[in-house]
Amino acid sequence: MKKVLIGIALTTAFASQSALAGEHVVYELDGQPYEGYWAKVNNTAPLVLLVHDWDGLTEYEEKRAEMLNSMGYNVFAVDLFGQDVRPTKVEDKRQHTGALYKDRMKLQALMNAGLEQAGKLGGNLDNTVVMGYCFGGAATLEAARAGMNARGFVTFHGGLQTPEGQNYTQTKAPILVLHGTADSAIPMSQFAELAVELEQSGVPHEMITYSGAPHAFTVFGSDRYREDADKKSWQAFSEFLVTTTGKP
């Protein structure tokens, strides 16, 4: 794996790390460093902008990026917390996500910074799908509401509530929601409310639930992992990618 340093002046440096296919990328927003993950297939492949869970960008997102590489997509996994900020304690995870939920303008700026960085690395910004897990799913819907230019938005067991004062009138692309019926953190009442809101706003959408799947049902190796729901939701996501971006 290579480590790539990209600052405001687009300075780049490389350092060999391990055998992983991707590169760690350090970029800046408002003078603060963030460390994303760039996994490239070729110069013309569609781009997937991947957004991490509340524990920050970890090997989980890198694994998902490599799975997408194998399907023919370039991937940039954004960092919404900051370089070396990868919380492990629940209270720290809540602190970092809570701070961004309270500052929606910063959350939007971080999403835009990630997309911009992907473009600087060669990502195809004219053929991009944004997707995220849990907190990353909420951030993905935030980007959709803010009018980010993308072909589609996908959330896996993500936060679904629309903040006060926001709506989907600026959303420019279809939304795919993949959710567990047994999710006690994001109840089905919020799922239904979002469905009504998207319909009223005229946003094309597909919303799928998986019985028995709790919150974070896609996280490999956890006690919440549900293989059947994980595989089915990944298949739905794969079909959505083909529909929205064309076959890579």
The stretch 165-170 carries a mean pLDDT of: 97
Contact 236, 155 (CB under 8 A): no
Task: Work out the number of other CB atoms within 10 angstroms of the CB of residue 90.
Answer: 10
* Residues contacting 196, CB < 8 A, separation 6+: none
Fold assignment, 31-245: Rossmann fold (3.40.50)
d(CA 220, CA 180): 15
| Residue pLDDT, tens place only, 51-88 | 999 999 999 999 999 999 999 999 999 999 999 999 99
The stretch 211-216 carries a mean pLDDT of: 98
- Per-residue CA distances from 139 to 22, 66, 123, 223 (Å): 23, 21, 20, 24
pLDDT of residue 145: 98
Position 214 pLDDT exceeds 80:
yes
Average pLDDT, the chain: 91
| Residue pLDDT, tens place only, 117-137 | 999 999 999 999 999 999 999
Q: Lowest mean pLDDT of 5-19, 126-140, 197-211, name the range.
A: 5-19
Output 6 or 222, whichever has higher pLDDT: 222
80 by DSSP, 3-state: which?
coil
What are the residue ranges spanned by the domains of the chain?
31-245
d(CA 118, CA 211): 35
pLDDT of residue 15: 28
